Structure 1
Amino acid sequence: MRRDLDIVTCQNSDEELLQQLQLNHNAVAFSILYERYWEKLVTIAYIRLKSSMDAQEVVQDLFLDLWKRSENIQLKYSFNTYICGALKYKIITFLARRKNEAERQSRLELPEIDRSTEQWLSYQQLRDELESSIQSLPEKCRLVFKLSREKGLTEREIAATLNISMKTVESHMSKALRTLRASLRYLHIFF
């Protein structure tokens, strides 16, 4: 019986497969769409990203979104047009995140300093105090701060990841920054 369903499903159009996915969360329909589009989408992503690993990551993320959001997808044109458009936006988001991470890293890099013991100890002490301040934050606040500053996620992505509102994310970030400023008042002396 299952074999007949596979044969019928394999012959369906993309739109019919999407409909089965939307109505029944049909894993077979999803697998067929995945197999039909995986290589094509990875190739397109590779051309733009110049990295096989990044291309696969972006496409995998796209299919994960397709699985999670299948019930809400409404096609204006064909499924092919939809999935290629969705890939375009995933690539843009990926590139923007990569750029933001690079900019953040360049801002965090310290200017070339004399490697004297005194300066090294001051720098280590500052890093230790900063880490201690971060660890003293309430758990949710600390998690939001780390997702923002260490992982480079936007407030919207953090809200989606933690299943909380954007206002809550903003509140946690404000509290974290206020606390860190208060505990490291002399930070501006060093930078």
Structure 2
Amino acid sequence: MSPDYGNDVILLERLKAHDLQAFNYLYNNNRKWLYVLALSIVKDECEAQDLVQDLFIDFWQQSLYKQVTTSIKGYLSNSIKNRAFNFIRNEGVRKRRENNIPLPKEFILPTYHLENAELKKELTAAMDDLSPAAAKVFNLAYLEHRSYHEIAADLAISRNTVMNHMVKALKTLRTRLKKWESL
């Protein structure tokens, strides 16, 4: 007979015993309503999914279940609300900072043009080494100046996936373009 995970006391005991089946029960029975709750706050499907996923990862890996003193649903509800409000606050701060950077009208960001034909040729060759997905994400981020958030929405992937593609792309490009480091 399997344990009754519907009881918070038993579920917490099983989680503290590192019972993966108990965690799976918790995840499968709570992720949808937590997603809806996060979505109602952040108004972005990808971000809401990421917030819920990150909550469950932290809940398990950092043993956050040890902090639960009342109901698990109450703890999860408060946690996802806090994460969603933190996301909104941090996003607002980032946008205000971007808007407050004074640039002269004639200023052209160095990434907008490549004056050195040889470097451009090397960059094109290095881009060919990237996977199609990583190349697409890199182009959207650096050549079209799109945010990770916008890229995730356009490609219907999570922001974490966008970040993973960028990490791989930048690592490959840094390796290939190492001789241009002094520029």
Which TM-score tier does this pair reach, normalised by the shorter chain?
A: 0.5 to 0.7
Offset, 1:12: 4.1
Q: Matched residue pairs, number?
A: 115
**% identity of equivalent residues:** 27
Offset, 1:65: 1.3
Q: Secondary structure at the match of 2:57?
A: helix
**TM-score with structure 2 setting the length:** 0.53
Deviation by residue 1:37-94 (Cα, 9 ceiling, x = unmatched): 0000000111111111111111111111111232662333211111111111111211
Q: Which among 36, 52, 56 is matched to residue 59 of structure 1?
A: 52
Query: Within 5 A, what are the aligned runs for 1:24-173?
Result: 24-70=17-63, 73-108=66-101, 110-111=103-104, 113-114=105-106, 120=108, 124=110
- Mapped pair 1:15 → 2:15: no
**Which residue of structure 2 aligns with residue 167 of structure 1?**
none
Shift in CA distance, 103/69, structure 1 to aligned 2, threshold 3 Å: same
Alignment check: 8 A CA contact 1:42 1:55 kept:
yes
For 1:48 and 1:76, the matched residues in 2 are separated by 25
For 1:44 and 1:106, the matched residues in 2 are separated by 30
Alignment check: 8 A CA contact 2:58 2:64 kept:
no
**Which residue of structure 2 aligns with residue 180 of structure 1?**
none
Counterpart code for 1:13: N
**Which residue of structure 1 aligns with residue 163 of structure 2?**
none
Alignment check: 8 A CA contact 1:42 1:56 kept:
yes
Alignment check: 8 A CA contact 2:38 2:51 kept:
yes
**TM-score with structure 1 setting the length:** 0.51
Query: Which structure has the larger Rg over C-alpha atoms?
Result: 1
For 1:9 and 1:53, the matched residues in 2 are separated by 34
Unaligned runs of 5+ in 2: 112-147, 149-183
Counterpart code for 2:53: Q
Alignment check: 8 A CA contact 2:38 2:84 kept:
yes
Counterpart code for 1:105: E
Alignment check: 8 A CA contact 1:10 1:32 kept:
no
For 1:44 and 1:72, the matched residues in 2 are separated by 20
More helix by share: 1
Alignment check: 8 A CA contact 1:15 1:79 kept:
no
